[in-house]
Structure 1
Amino acid sequence: MANAMPSMVALLGMLAVAGYQNRDKLGGLLGGLGNQSGDPANRQSGGLGDLLGGLGGASAGGALSGGLGDLVDRFRQSGHGDKADSWVNSGANASVDSSDLEQTLGDDTITELTQKTGLSRAELLDRLAKTLPDAVNHMTPDGRLPTPQEAQRFAG
């Protein structure tokens, strides 16, 4: 599962750094996605800015929608689709543990996230395990993955 899609890596990085409990701040972080350019003067500074810079000209809604789709697909491919599906569908959210995340995301993605967020591997996995189910649930209120236009509401 090497070479994660930039939108998925950015989504996971934002969740790990900001934490779902600070989701109101995610809108501010995502608002600049459409304005990312190769010019360092126009990019956000720090590890999160570098993480987001990989998205190029993608819209915030497209990045969220694509990132969620990539993430759910990864969980399905790794045999943990029932967990991801529980977050998208109505009903109780299944929990996820560090070993499930490691198996699903793979070493390359986890290494990239730790480098770009500045979090240790253990802290990154712990934060994602705590925030990911509720975050995906919140971003899929209709029981399905949002379209890019629908996902835009989470970025503004």
Structure 2
Amino acid sequence: MANNGMPSMVALLGLLAVAGFQNRDKLGGLLNGLGNQPADPANPGRATGGLGDILGGLGGALGGASAGGVLSGGLGDLVDRFRQTGRGAQADSWIVPGQDNAPVQPADLEETLGEDTITELTKKTGLSRADLLERLSKTLPQAINHLTPEGRLPTEAEAQRLAG
């Protein structure tokens, strides 16, 4: 599956892979600045300093999207991917209150995200394929559970409050 048109999902996954959910207090600040990084004149499309250096230009790919837009759009795209690959019940376990979060194995993530998304994430985060998939397999269930406190995907405004 190509990830064309899903920069929010790639940004969300990149942030979770690099920063990890254990640093969730910092994710809101990162997301709020993600689309507003200045471009690096020597490398168009790549932001300079801070988050831009860490994520290799994910901010430039979002074109000024808000933190709420990144979260709500990224979560929606990600859950859709899980549903399209027959893993909807797994993703729903992270969303529905009172359910235990089903684990996700790196191999399941690999199949769900697809080659294009994984390749883009490894390039933009600097993580190896194995490290990326391992980090996301540990991070996604808890992160999505936290970002869906109402038992559903948040609206952009709700996601903005969660990010802030």
TM-score normalised by the chain length of structure 2: 0.88
Aligned equivalents of 1:112 and 1:85: distance in 2? 26
Which of residues 117, 122, 125 in structure 1 aligns to 2:130?
122
Q: Which residue of 2 aligns with 1:132?
A: 140
CA 1:89–1:105 in 2, change beyond 3 Å: closer, same or farther?
Answer: same
Q: Which residue of 1 aligns with 2:8?
A: 7
Give the number of aligned pairs: 155
Matches within 5 A, 1:21-32: 21-32=22-33
Give the fraction of aligned pairs with identical amino acids, expressed as a percent. 72
1:141 pairs with 2:146 = no
Aligned equivalents of 1:36 and 1:119: distance in 2? 21
Contact 1:36/1:56 (8 A) holds in 2:
no
More strand by share: 2
Question: Structure 1 stretches (4+) deviating beyond 4 angstroms?
Answer: none
**Higher RCO (CA < 8 A, seq sep 6+):** 1
Where does structure 2 lack aligned partners over 5 or more consecutive residues? none
CA 1:85–1:44 in 2, change beyond 3 Å: closer, same or farther?
Answer: farther
Contact 2:118/2:129 (8 A) holds in 1:
yes
The residue matched to 2:57 in structure 1 has which SS?
A: helix
1:97 pairs with 2:92 = no
Aligned equivalents of 1:32 and 1:49: distance in 2? 14
RMSD of aligned alpha carbons = 1.7
TM-score normalised by the chain length of structure 1: 0.93
Where does structure 1 lack aligned partners over 5 or more consecutive residues? none
